[in-house]
Amino acid sequence: MATLETYIDRFRFAELKREGGILTIKLHSKGDSLRWGERPLQELPIVMWEVGQDPENEVVILTGSGDNFIADFFDEPSQSGYAAFNFDRALRNQRAVIDGLLNISAPMIAAVNGPAHIHSEYALLCDIVLAAENTTFQDAAHYQSGLPPGDGVQIVWPALIGINRARYFLMTGQKIDAGEALRLGVVSEVLPQADLMGRARQLADQLMTVPQTVRSLARETLNCYWRRLMQEDLAFGLLSEGKGSMQLYAERQA
Amino acid sequence: MATLETYIDRFRFAELKREGGILTIKLHSKGDSLRWGERPLQELPIVMWEVGQDPENEVVILTGSGDNFIADFFDEPSQSGYAAFNFDRALRNQRAVIDGLLNISAPMIAAVNGPAHIHSEYALLCDIVLAAENTTFQDAAHYQSGLPPGDGVQIVWPALIGINRARYFLMTGQKIDAGEALRLGVVSEVLPQADLMGRARQLADQLMTVPQTVRSLARETLNCYWRRLMQEDLAFGLLSEGKGSMQLYAERQA
Amino acid sequence: MATLETYIDRFRFAELKREGGILTIKLHSKGDSLRWGERPLQELPIVMWEVGQDPENEVVILTGSGDNFIADFFDEPSQSGYAAFNFDRALRNQRAVIDGLLNISAPMIAAVNGPAHIHSEYALLCDIVLAAENTTFQDAAHYQSGLPPGDGVQIVWPALIGINRARYFLMTGQKIDAGEALRLGVVSEVLPQADLMGRARQLADQLMTVPQTVRSLARETLNCYWRRLMQEDLAFGLLSEGKGSMQLYAERQA
Amino acid sequence: MATLETYIDRFRFAELKREGGILTIKLHSKGDSLRWGERPLQELPIVMWEVGQDPENEVVILTGSGDNFIADFFDEPSQSGYAAFNFDRALRNQRAVIDGLLNISAPMIAAVNGPAHIHSEYALLCDIVLAAENTTFQDAAHYQSGLPPGDGVQIVWPALIGINRARYFLMTGQKIDAGEALRLGVVSEVLPQADLMGRARQLADQLMTVPQTVRSLARETLNCYWRRLMQEDLAFGLLSEGKGSMQLYAERQA
Amino acid sequence: MATLETYIDRFRFAELKREGGILTIKLHSKGDSLRWGERPLQELPIVMWEVGQDPENEVVILTGSGDNFIADFFDEPSQSGYAAFNFDRALRNQRAVIDGLLNISAPMIAAVNGPAHIHSEYALLCDIVLAAENTTFQDAAHYQSGLPPGDGVQIVWPALIGINRARYFLMTGQKIDAGEALRLGVVSEVLPQADLMGRARQLADQLMTVPQTVRSLARETLNCYWRRLMQEDLAFGLLSEGKGSMQLYAERQA
Amino acid sequence: MATLETYIDRFRFAELKREGGILTIKLHSKGDSLRWGERPLQELPIVMWEVGQDPENEVVILTGSGDNFIADFFDEPSQSGYAAFNFDRALRNQRAVIDGLLNISAPMIAAVNGPAHIHSEYALLCDIVLAAENTTFQDAAHYQSGLPPGDGVQIVWPALIGINRARYFLMTGQKIDAGEALRLGVVSEVLPQADLMGRARQLADQLMTVPQTVRSLARETLNCYWRRLMQEDLAFGLLSEGKGSMQLYAERQA
């Protein structure tokens, strides 16, 4: 059985801290906002797996660093990045992140500290989602980049804002700001960036007041919703994205 | 085949009245607002079963008494109330209420006469939901009381307000007032309490204008939505709540 | 493999035009707004089939003519129209329109040019939905006409506006105007009627910028949503509507 | 809460007996084999409901009388029997029998005492199915009688013998004898008629050895299988059968 | 509405004949056993579409020519055949064949006249499946040829013989002869080749004895089974096969 | 990315060996047949996770040691073993084993070397299942031990032998020998124990002949079957078993 000591220092893109049962996962690139790429995607499944194995994580807060949640690419998939092997692995990793996140049996709070233009679903799948006022949501990683939206965004966004709003959002590159995200029910509270983590911890304390098994059953009961949707459509979406990337690579090479 | 005479006077917490095919079910405790507890939960499956068996109920109005729909407990589940046997029966009854309600083949109108903090799903599952201006919605029976939300609220609320709003609502004890409920599509009209039943009857008259089999097929066609969701997740939720209650009981005893 | 020449002139209620891979389907009755009836319903499955068979249709715009999308009946189903045989065929055709529309692998943009009171689902199933300011939505073809809402409206409307708003909309004859449709996420942009087609083409051009297979995979990935819902409930709905029409016919004859 | 005394003598077509928690439901017509018709179908939902409400029924045995389980019609649906109203009620009753049977939380043993040519699904849905050597299975109530097989046989038979065997069985009137039923896994033991009830009671005693809640959870865990299938396809099937009967009636009248 | 005259002579690989409402579709290559390739796959969706559009096809018999049902390739997908574009089209066609076959509302009888090693699912999806004694079943088109089994075989075979038998069959190249196919419930009767069509017509005549709408509802009721399975897994399978073929092509080119 | 060196020696109950891409997982207790208990259940999720993370495992063989696959308990859950906390963890582990096994993207061959009376589903979920002649199958861990069958057996056995055979098997303690398992399609080949591993390796070599991505897509395509079933019913089953164990523990304490 995992204990915090065995995994707290293993990660390069995720800083972990636990106080009184409340674990904070802070995504980052050398301390500043995480810049997305293959390496964080290889690391995150293991973060989620380890966090989920350790029963002493009783509530989990997921947040970013600096002014963005995740908004920029470190290594924009280069031409060679589109080769089939890597993409297959990337998609397998993406699946493992989502499965791993849903398998964490502690309630999760997302504290979205700013623009979430890449993998916003990591935050949106959490039970309670708070956003800083400077947050914007966008899907920068798919249609705009020549790829079909299949890594989970095609599931999470229709569930949150309705299928017609979501298709427009995913196919046109629309940006949604914090106020609109609140109106649409994507996030549940919008706060000044400075107050974000304080409020997250306050809610975490509040969630701690029921027995652990009850907390975990509440989480599981509500996660049924996402598990079913992921089971139904994630595999097809990931495969679409994989095939799309091969096609894009072939065209670019030709 | 049931006729009104055989069941109209059997119930202690539900006053029935039928005029021109329109049956009104008025929930109450000695004439005032229903106070929730084990006994109404034992009675309601039979109310629903009898109402559903009688083809002369052509439209059904569900309402409360006094200033609340259901907002208070009569017998707050005492320590002893958490013993396993009773909880199992309670959850079996809850399932029977929901099945019974959905099996009524007449269109149903909910006239929510005030705060619905306990089992608001009984109203929200009706085809048309009207609310008095003094109505508020809350989930007082689960997370706040140390139980996982598994008796149907975890299904009905995400369907109505989206999964992220619903998780916040169910896990933090949030109250939603009538105006917000209207904006979110939880209810379809908000009226002064005094006008509520009049409007409900007006809509009932309007629903009566199509042939009975068409009315019943319309109801059935739209109920597909709820039947599927209940089939998918209700059993797991009820079991979660049952297990959570045993755990809570065990902890309180220890 | 179909080519445009083989089907462009076959249709009486749909004018087709293709420029640079962007196909526009303009519904009409002799050049003015389409008036609904049995004959357009016989033709539309073939329109969808042919459009779907031709890989040179790369983006598709669906619109109406004159001031309505579809708002009036040409031949209000007469008494004799309710005879079982015709209704069975009509419902089989309706299923073929929906299947055919979803089987088109090119992204689709609906330009709703005005009131859509009959078969608004043809527009709402498109990926991007634009509406002219004079648009209103209503379901004129079912409950108000004595039929259960089973031809797809019972699926599309709950998905777009939530089940409780949708039941109210479908059972009371409510009208939703363009502004409310935008707020509810039914449509994604509202424009002056004169600007509608220009904006549709602009978006079509934008959608053309990714490789064809990616465009088609994006469409397919997002269509999973509708395919599942249609599979789950369309057959039951169509059968309900068919049985309801027989009943209505029998009552009217008696 | 129901007790045996309140319902044991209410039924005309079902003789109830309980010994040591083991309830036997013996279907009959005046003591001999049940002859099927509208009245038993009106009574059976109530039998199932009452049996399911009473927690003192700990194991249930379902059997027939005389030499048949159910093999003959009492009142072959006459011409007038095909009128829409009665058929709708019949199908609603059929649904209630199946729901009621699955809602019984005690393990059920079917002791099929002979030919089961009508509603064999009542027996086949039980947890353990024993058959007398003289048993044969057939579907006499549908295709052979001019009706689509939609009342549950189209779900139960494909589940038990595979879809291709089941379609042949349902569309050609094939008979399956006890030995073949055993080979195909439809029944689990075949015995001389005289030994049938003894063996059923022996198995019932064996099932009694675990705690009641465990027995009931085991039943529920395995019933997931049927609940899902019934949810998916029963409503459509019943409606098909209802529509088919209207059509048949119309043709016979013409 | 299609009539036989408009489509009977359009097909190169399917000879159509209709007597008394019974349509026979005889697959062939220049009169002898059909040899599989891209062109029959382009034609078959249109065959199914036209047959399904014509209400005068009341029972349909599907058979092959000569000594094989489909057992050999005409144009074994050459290296160049693995190019993405063609494969995508091929898989789209395959989906259209299956959808088209299931959309035929007349009962279907397969008369498998010999080895069915390629696309045996066309026969096995029919309501009644008869086989000549010389029939064998095998999956020659996938794992043995370096492709994942995704075009429907991965759905049809587990449904018919169980998932573990099916995985062995699909991954090892196993052959199943007629007798074993009968024992496993894949086919329902095995006959000398000379008697096959006679028996098929005899069963077709028998199926004709119920009213057309009942026949069609019976077919639809039982087709629910396949429609659901195809909806759940066909799209993913086809995409897997498409991606697998790109990979195979890339490897062969390298 | 995991490499064999990092995990090969970490396990106490699983001996790993890899030759030419073929990994063999041999379950054992100190070299002899694995005796089941809490510790192997804690280790197996990690085995599956590590094997699944390493792309150099191209085909996987799962087998046991000595004369049993898994047939005996090391530490029969003692009274104290029934305390809630441990059982919750055990069930979470069981879920992780099944998820982990299905997430391995290499084809899997089970070589069942003898009696599989506990967790036979680990073998039966593999793509190809071979059994030694001395193999018997039984469910010794549930109904016979006072627990509801909820850890996956209630899903795997109905899928393999049909729901009625499976309920009998699970509720009566029936034993199925190798020959019967072959006839029922539970296993695909039965061999002398001495020939078992040789045949497994022969099949593994045969599976190696297609490109890795094709092999992995074939596995994934066929795994859809199990993923869906596990998603639908595993969570409910595990919770039932957890609640059943609390009940059993409470009764034994009383």
Q: What is the pLDDT of residues F197-213, one digit of tens each?
A: 999 999 999 999 998 98
Cα(F199)–Cα(F208) distance, integer angstroms: 14
Q: Is any Cβ of chain B less than 8 angstroms from the Cβ of D221? A: no
Q: Do E243 and A247 touch (CB under 8 A)?
A: no
Question: CA of D244: which chain C residue's CA is closest?
Answer: C243
Residue A253, pLDDT > 80, answer no
Question: CA of E146: which chain F residue's CA is closest?
Answer: F210
Please provide residue C126's backbone torsions phi and psi, each rounded to the nearest 5 degrees: -70, 160
DSSP, collapsed to helix, strand or coil, labels residue E134 as coil
- The amino acid that residue A253 corresponds to is Q
Cα(B104)–Cα(F41) distance, integer angstroms: 47
Q: What is the pLDDT of residues E2-13, one digit of tens each?
A: 799 999 999 999
Q: What is the pLDDT of residues D137-174, one digit of tens each?
A: 999 999 988 999 999 999 999 999 999 999 999 999 99
Comparing CA positions, the residue from A95, A146, A102, A137 lying closest to residue A118 is A137
Q: Is any Cβ of chain D less than 8 angstroms from the Cβ of B42? A: yes
DSSP code of residue E62 = E
Question: pLDDT band for position B251 (50/70/90)?
Answer: confident
The beta-carbon neighbor of F228 closest among E232, E240, E241 is E232
Question: pLDDT band for position B253 (50/70/90)?
Answer: confident
- Using 70 as the pLDDT threshold, list the residues of chain E that sit under it: 1, 75-86, 254
Beta-carbon contacts of B241 under 8 Å, excluding residues fewer than 6 positions away, are A217, A221, B87, B91, B142, B147, B148, B149, B150, B151
Q: Is any Cβ of chain A less than 8 angstroms from the Cβ of E150? A: no
Comparing CA positions, the residue from D58, D10, D45 lying closest to residue D218 is D58
Question: CA of B243: which chain F residue's CA is closest?
Answer: F243
**D206 chain-F contacts, CB cut-off 8 A:** 172
**D214 chain-F contacts, CB cut-off 8 A:** 146-148, 244, 247-248
Cα(C102)–Cα(C125) distance, integer angstroms: 8
Is residue E206 a contact partner of residue D168, using CB atoms and an 8 Å limit?
Answer: no
pLDDT at A76: 55
Residue D84, pLDDT > 70, answer no
pLDDT at E151: 96
Strand B34-36 with B70-73, pairing: parallel
Reported as half-sphere exposure (CB side, CA atoms, 13 A), residue D96 has a value of 26
- Using 50 as the pLDDT threshold, list the residues of chain C that sit under it: 79-80, 85
Q: Tell me the nearest-neighbour CA distance from C74 into chain A, angstroms.
A: 30
The chain-wide mean pLDDT, for chain C, equals 93
Q: What is the pLDDT of residues D175-233, one digit of tens each?
A: 999 999 999 999 999 999 999 999 999 999 999 999 898 999 999 999 999 999 999 99
Q: In the 3-class helix/strand/coil scheme, how is B26-42 assigned residue by residue?
A: EECECCECEEECHHHHH
pLDDT at D76: 55
Q: What is the pLDDT of residues A184-236, one digit of tens each?
A: 999 999 999 999 999 999 999 999 999 888 999 999 999 999 999 999 999 99
Beta strands in A113-173 (DSSP E): 128-132, 136-137
Is residue A25 a contact partner of residue A47, using CB atoms and an 8 Å limit?
Answer: yes
pLDDT at E84: 52
Exposure letters F196-214 (e unless 16+ CB within 10 A, then b): bbebbbebbebbbebbbbb
Q: Is any Cβ of chain F less than 8 angstroms from the Cβ of B251? A: no
Q: What is the pLDDT of residues E44-92, one digit of tens each?
A: 999 999 999 999 999 999 999 999 999 998 865 554 455 555 677 888 9
**D244 chain-E contacts, CB cut-off 8 A:** 213-214, 217-218
Beta-bridged to residue B14, according to DSSP, are B27
pLDDT at A64: 98
> Rounded to the nearest 10 degrees, what angle do helices D212-253 and F212-253 cross at?
120
pLDDT at F247: 82
DSSP code of residue D29 = B
What's the gap between Cα B161 and its chain centre?
17
Cα(B120)–Cα(B175) distance, integer angstroms: 12
**A246 chain-E contacts, CB cut-off 8 A:** 84, 243, 246
Q: Do C187 and A164 touch (CB under 8 A)?
A: yes
pLDDT at D216: 94
Is residue D70 a contact partner of residue D116, using CB atoms and an 8 Å limit?
Answer: yes
D interface mutation test: which of B3, B48, B54, B103 has the most D CBs within 10 A?
A: B103
Q: What is the pLDDT of residues F133-150, one digit of tens each?
A: 999 999 999 998 899 999
DSSP string, B62-95: EE-STT-SEEEESS---TGGGSHHHHHHHHHHHH
The distance between the two most distant Cα atoms of chain B, rounded to a whole number of Å, is 60
Question: CA of B238: which chain A residue's CA is closest?
Answer: A221
Comparing CA positions, the residue from A208, D207, B245, A212 lying closest to residue F246 is B245
What is the mean pLDDT of the segment spanning F156-168? 98
The chain-wide mean pLDDT, for chain A, equals 93
Q: Tell me the nearest-neighbour CA distance from F104 into chain B, angstroms.
A: 27
To the nearest whole percent, how much of chain A has pLDDT over 70? 94
Cα(D163)–Cα(D156) distance, integer angstroms: 10
Q: Do D42 and B1 touch (CB under 8 A)?
A: yes
Cα(A209)–Cα(A215) distance, integer angstroms: 9
**B242 chain-F contacts, CB cut-off 8 A:** 243
Give the residue numbers of B marked as catalytic: 121
Q: Is any Cβ of chain B less than 8 angstroms from the Cβ of A222? A: yes
Inter-CA distances, B253 with A133, B81, B245, B246, B250, Å: 46, 12, 12, 10, 5
Q: What is the pLDDT of residues F77-134, one digit of tens each?
A: 554 445 554 677 888 999 999 999 999 999 999 999 999 999 999 999 999 999 999 9
Secondary-structure breakdown of chain A: helix, strand, coil percentages, each rounded to the nearest 5: 50, 20, 30
Is residue D195 a contact partner of residue D120, using CB atoms and an 8 Å limit?
Answer: no
Cα(C147)–Cα(C32) distance, integer angstroms: 28
Reported as half-sphere exposure (CB side, CA atoms, 13 A), residue D60 has a value of 30
Locate E121 and state its tokens: 């699912």
Burial class (CB in 10 A: 0-12, 13-18, 19+), E194: exposed
Question: pLDDT band for position F2 (50/70/90)?
Answer: confident
pTM for the whole thing?
A: 0.96
> Rounded to the nearest 10 degrees, what angle do helices C212-253 and C84-103 cross at?
170
Question: CA of E245: which chain A residue's CA is closest?
Answer: A243
Beta-carbon contacts of F180 under 8 Å, excluding residues fewer than 6 positions away, are none
Q: Is any Cβ of chain D less than 8 angstroms from the Cβ of E231? A: no
Q: Which of A166-175, F25-34, F241-250 has the lowest mean pLDDT?
A: F241-250
Cα(E207)–Cα(D173) distance, integer angstroms: 11
The beta-carbon neighbor of D171 closest among E128, E159, E228 is E128
**A181 chain-C contacts, CB cut-off 8 A:** none
Are chains C and F in contact at 3+ CB pairs closer than 8 Å?
Answer: no
Q: What is the pLDDT of residues B76-120, one digit of tens each?
A: 555 444 555 467 788 899 999 999 999 999 999 999 999 999 999
Q: Please tell me which residue in C50, C58, C121, C241 is annotated as part of the active site.
A: C121
Question: pLDDT band for position D17 (50/70/90)?
Answer: very high
Question: pLDDT band for position F4 (50/70/90)?
Answer: very high
Cα(C4)–Cα(C20) distance, integer angstroms: 13
Is residue C152 a contact partner of residue B219, using CB atoms and an 8 Å limit?
Answer: no
pLDDT at F109: 98
pLDDT at F75: 64
pLDDT at C251: 77
